[in-house]
Amino acid sequence: MGTRTEDVRLAYKTWKQVQEYLNYDQTVIIPVGANEQHGPSCPVVTDTLLAEHLALEVGRRQGVLVGPTLPIGDSLIHLGFPGTIAFRPSTLMSVIKDYVTSLHKAGFRRFFVVNGHGDNKPPLQSAFSELGEELSEIRYFVHDFWDFPNFREILNDEFGDPNGGHADACDASLLMAIDPSLVNESLLTSEFPKVRYWISRDLVDDLYTKSGVIGSDQRLASKEVGKKLLEEAIQCYSQLLMELMEVKEPALS
């Protein structure tokens, strides 16, 4: 593993420094976020900030390089809200494939994707499925932070919901823990969709959300819960990363 106290951002290294790193480790962490509405209380950069914060903290603790954050994801359903910028799933697949192929050419073989937006996961997994056929010797994880069992348990205990929603109390709490100034607490709200099935974007306002919050009571958010959630996500990601790096550790609970 690398030196834990150094800057782990790949983009701030020289090519010589990256080459030296590859002499002892071929692992890279890739944060993937989104630029989409998060209700009236949280910024459109929420998913990107969360993915990047988690990736950098895991990278620092484990001494693993962190690649540049992909700040745009599959946010097509949110395009009715000003400020949202979206990739089509096919575009996101092409972008991550070019990203990973470039790093693979340099010598990276283990790719650890910290995903901050749920709709990104299918195209990311599909892209890696293709990369697994096209590239040699690669190992990878694509994981959403809210899918760790212990993380879900905290959500259930604190908010009465193990799954959360969009622009939910989980997101707001995490942002509060990172930087309270990012959340306008006076505008936290609650809204739940009228239907459970997927819909086209023209029906979002009528059936899913007018505020941008989907399936959550944001007003339950707190900085204290956010700190607990952050630490749980960082620990779980760290354990998963060590598995990818073939360090023998106990299985995740």
Cα–Cα distance between 30 and 99 in angstroms, integer? 9
- In three-state form (DSSP H/G/I as H, E/B as E, the rest C), the secondary structure along the chain is CCCCCCCCEHHHCCHHHHHHHHCCCCEEEEEECCECCECCCECCCHHHHHHHHHHHHHHHHHCCEECCCECCECCHHHCCCCCCEECCHHHHHHHHHHHHHHHHHHCCCEEEEEECCHHHHHHHHHHHHHHHHHCCCCEEEEEEHHHCHHHHHHHHHHHCCCCCCECCHHHHHHHHHHCHHHCCHHHCCEECCCCCCCCCHHHHHHHHCCCCCECEEHHHCCHHHHHHHHHHHHHHHHHHHHHHCCCCCCCCC
Predicted pLDDT of residue 97: 98
104-147 pLDDT, tens digit per residue, is 999 999 999 999 999 999 999 999 999 999 999 999 999 999 99
Predicted pLDDT of residue 133: 97
Cα–Cα distance between 56 and 63 in angstroms, integer? 10
Nearest CA to 193 out of 175, 206, 182 is that of 206
Cα–Cα distance between 94 and 109 in angstroms, integer? 19
Indicate the pLDDT class of residue 246, thresholds 50, 70 and 90. confident
Q: The pTM is what?
A: 0.94
Task: Answer yes or no: are the C-beta atoms of 27 and 64 closer than 8 Å.
Answer: yes
21-79 pLDDT, tens digit per residue, is 999 999 999 999 999 999 999 999 999 999 999 999 999 999 999 999 999 999 999 99
Nearest CA to 186 out of 221, 226, 215, 227 is that of 221
Predicted pLDDT of residue 3: 39
Phi/psi region, residue 167 (left: phi>0; alpha: psi -120 to 50; beta: rest), is left
Task: Answer yes or no: are the C-beta atoms of 184 and 193 closer than 8 Å.
Answer: no
Q: How far is CA 200 from CA 74, 78, 120, in A?
A: 14, 11, 17
Q: How far is CA 81 from CA 105, 207, 213, in A?
A: 39, 15, 12
Domains defined along the chain, listed by start: 10-244 (3.40.50.10310)
Higher pLDDT, 4 or 144: 144
Average of pLDDT values for 224-239? 98
